[in-house]
Amino acid sequence: MPPKDTDITGRSPKRRRPQAIRRLVIWYRRNAAVTSLVGTASAAGSVAGSMAGSVAGSVVSTAGNVAGAAGNVAGNVAGVAGSMAGNVAGVAGSVAGAASSVAGSMANSVLQPLVFDPLRRLQQGSNPDGELRIIDAERLWVAVDGMGGDHAPGPILEGCLRAVALLPVRVRFVDETAAVDQAVAALGLDEELAAAIGAGLIEVVASGPSVGMDEEATVVRRKRDASINLAMDLVKAGEATAAYSAGNSGAVMASAIFRLGRLKGIDRPAIGALFPTKDPNQQVLVLDVGANMDAKPAYLHQFALLGNIYSRDVLQVQQPRIGLLNIGEEECKGNELCLKTYPLLAADNRFVFAGNCEGRDVLSGDFDVVVCDGFTGNVLLKFLESVGSVLLDVLRAELPRGRRGKVGSAFLRSNLVRIKKRLDHAEHGGALLLGVNGVCVIGHGSSKALSVVSALRLAHSAASHGVMDDLHKLSNNTDAVVACD
């Protein structure tokens, strides 16, 4: 008997390819065969045309020469006719060859992308954006609270080093010297930090004991030299155009109010976060997302005024559509806060009030600004932050395993990366604290380098679009805010 690993002929049996791979190979061979056939037809057409032209020309020319021997006049006429017939036949042959060649090229252009583009895209990967040329004279100073955040100060400093290389900003990094020296040594950032300091892109500012993530917001009054307080002082003194902190949100807000002050006519500042929508080119500003747990109708009215200015100046929306987050579209729906806020927003002609916005409509793109109390907004923000990771986990679980799963994942890789970037809160970096007398960005407590870069990009955008100028115009208008409880 032959051994088990051989067939009757004594040869080892061929391993059967998985069904998906066999289908892919057959599909490719068929397309390749069609392309080859059309190419062959193109070549054959060109050769046939050339031969037809040559033969026809030779035959008719010979006939013309014979006729010319019979008589001068008849020969001349036949010669002219022969030349004309030869030219016509040659042109016909050339046209036939060109038509075949065009057909071959069209077949190649149709079939080749189907066969090769996905593989080429996988091999090349996503094309990185070209480096932006930064003019040093246009860089803006941003004060960064280096001790704010769950992972501070190392990842915060790392993000600042990336930011000064990618964005037209300079950073005044406020920190506790001992903690930063330890983080720099642990992450190996010595040379990079020294180079940035030498180039004037980063300036280190020493601070006192920082505010902990678990401390009360009022601690900023006692810790006067805390990093967050010094960062706000830099903005107030004009030594920085914006401040950024990923620390205790309540402490950041308290420090901004105590050090920078509120805008005239604004009772409570609001934290505004940018949410993605189904349109990749559009974002919706939601405020408040955590600064005021208990709000009054007048507060929401002020939030609408602040959001309208930011959406118009920074997001470049000509007429922002304002929505009131509610449980229904009808004016009579909602709790007492929503019922009293609705007429205030509807009566104000300084912005476009688009009515109530249900939870399902926040990301629809039908609204540019959505106002709500801080409790509801914070729940909405935290829920959205989980959607991206959950969605990707579901996709990974649903993709088939084995070779079929790897092939499918490879074709979907670029799409999954784009989905992750649109839903990842790290890509947005932070939220603006609107209503204080200065540009202030509050980052997520778990912020790392990517989040810091995104937050500094947001701070630069707000500082360079003249938002504060328009907010001051709003506060100087005595009729800007309706004082109503």
Least confident of 37-46, 118-127, 262-271, 333-342: 118-127
Contact at 8 Å (CB) between 253 and 216? no
Q: Which of 138, 134, 137, 160 is nearest to 147 (CA)?
A: 160
The CA-atom distances, in angstroms, between 229 and each of 67, 182, 251 are: 109, 23, 9
SS3 322: strand
Span 265-281, pLDDT tens digits: 889 899 998 888 888 78
Average confidence (pLDDT) over 431-454: 89
Least confident of 29-38, 307-316, 459-468: 29-38
Question: Given this model, what pLDDT does residue 59 score?
Answer: 41
Q: Which of 466, 440, 428, 460 is nearest to 169 (CA)?
A: 460
**Binning pLDDT at 50, 70 and 90, where does residue 179 land?**
very high
Distance CA(370)–CA(355), nearest Å, equals 10
SS3 324: strand
Question: Given this model, what pLDDT does residue 149 score?
Answer: 87
Share of the chain above pLDDT 90, in %: 43
Give the best-scoring range by mean pLDDT among 4-8, 174-178, 430-434: 174-178
**Residue 121 contacts by C-beta under 8 Å, 6 or more apart in sequence?**
414
Higher-confidence position of 107 and 148:
148
Say whether pLDDT at 7 is over 60. no
Question: Given this model, what pLDDT does residue 314 score?
Answer: 85
Say whether pLDDT at 142 is over 70. yes
Question: Given this model, what pLDDT does residue 470 score?
Answer: 83
Q: Which of 263, 203, 253 is nearest to 229 (CA)?
A: 253
Whether the pTM exceeds 0.85: the reply is no
Q: Which of 421, 425, 342, 344 is nearest to 378 (CA)?
A: 425
Contact at 8 Å (CB) between 149 and 160? no
Distance CA(449)–CA(263), nearest Å, equals 32
Distance CA(255)–CA(139), nearest Å, equals 26
Residue 256's φ and ψ, nearest 5 degrees, are: -65, -40
CB atoms within 10 A of CB 54: 14
Is residue 209 reached through a cis peptide bond, with omega within 30 degrees of 0 on the bond before it? no
Average pLDDT, the chain: 76
Say whether pLDDT at 472 is over 80. yes
User: Given the DSSP bridges, would you call strands 369-371 and 169-175 parallel, antiparallel or unpaired?
Assistant: unpaired
Distance CA(348)–CA(339), nearest Å, equals 16
Span 199-249, pLDDT tens digits: 999 999 999 999 988 888 889 999 999 999 999 999 999 999 999 999 888
Least confident of 36-50, 263-277, 415-429: 36-50
User: Given the DSSP bridges, would you call strands 270-276 and 430-434 parallel, antiparallel or unpaired?
Assistant: antiparallel
Say whether pLDDT at 37 is over 60. no
Is residue 485 reached through a cis peptide bond, with omega within 30 degrees of 0 on the bond before it? no
For residue 205 the two structure tokens come to 């500012």
**Binning pLDDT at 50, 70 and 90, where does residue 182 land?**
very high
H/E/C letters for each residue in 168-205? CEEEEEEECHHHHHHHHHHHCCHHHHHHHHHCCCEEEE
Share of the chain above pLDDT 70, in %: 64
